[in-house]
């Protein structure tokens, strides 16, 4: 595989609160996601450098977009974040590689800028203890 840009994503979908998959990539303007591992420092006093063990895997995501309240949109997915406590499958496909963890979204923040823009942010974290794995 060659180096690529981040242009032309094929899939970014999030389940709504009823579990229906909703493609929202057209409403998203930017995002970041991470798959960090915890580490434990186990350095003994006999060492001259840090010794560590890998611990639990994690996942976090921050989605940002333009407000759209059409029948099938990011707003229809995230408007229930404050009133429901459900895991939502979040499927990200980049260049044929897919990551699809179960996510708890913790906020749905709307911002109306001084210029008139109406945008949203939706941060999420790993929900179910399953290691996030690319396929």
pLDDT of 4 higher than 90:
no
- In sequence order, the β-bridge partners of residue 80 are none
What span, in angstroms and rounded, lies between the C-alpha atoms of 94 and 52? Answer: 31
Kind and range of the H or E run holding 74: helix 74-78
Tokens of 44: 């003994």
User: Across all residues in the chain, what is the average pLDDT?
Assistant: 95
What's the Rg (C-alpha) of the chain?
Answer: 18
- In sequence order, the β-bridge partners of residue 14 are 22, 90
Q: Choose the weakest-confidence range: 3-7, 45-49, 52-56, 118-122.
A: 3-7
pLDDT confidence of residue 1: 60
What span, in angstroms and rounded, lies between the C-alpha atoms of 135 and 67? Answer: 31
> In this predicted model, what pLDDT tens digit does every residue of 95-120 receive, in sequence order?
889 999 999 999 999 999 999 999 99
pLDDT of 29 higher than 90:
yes
Tokens of 114: 């001084």
pLDDT confidence of residue 7: 84
Residue 119, CB half-sphere, CA atoms under 13 Å: how many?
Answer: 13
Total-model pTM: 0.90
Kind and range of the H or E run holding 27: none
What span, in angstroms and rounded, lies between the C-alpha atoms of 87 and 97? Answer: 22
């Amino acid at each position: 595989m060659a180096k690529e840009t981040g242009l032309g994503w094929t899939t970014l979908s999030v389940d709504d609160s009823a579990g229906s998959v909703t493609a929202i990539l057209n409403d998203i303007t930017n995002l970041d996601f991470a798959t960090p591992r915890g580490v434990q420092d186990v350095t003994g006093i006999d060492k001259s450098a840090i010794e560590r063990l890998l611990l639990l895997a994690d996942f976090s995501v921050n989605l940002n977009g333009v407000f759209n309240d059409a029948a099938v949109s990011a707003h229809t997915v995230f408007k229930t974040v404050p009133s429901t406590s459900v895991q939502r499958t979040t499927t990200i496909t980049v260049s044929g590689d897919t990551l699809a963890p179960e996510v708890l979204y913790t906020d749905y923040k709307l911002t109306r800028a001084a210029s008139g823009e109406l945008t949203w942010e939706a941060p999420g974290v790993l929900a179910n203890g399953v290691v996030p794995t690319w396929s």
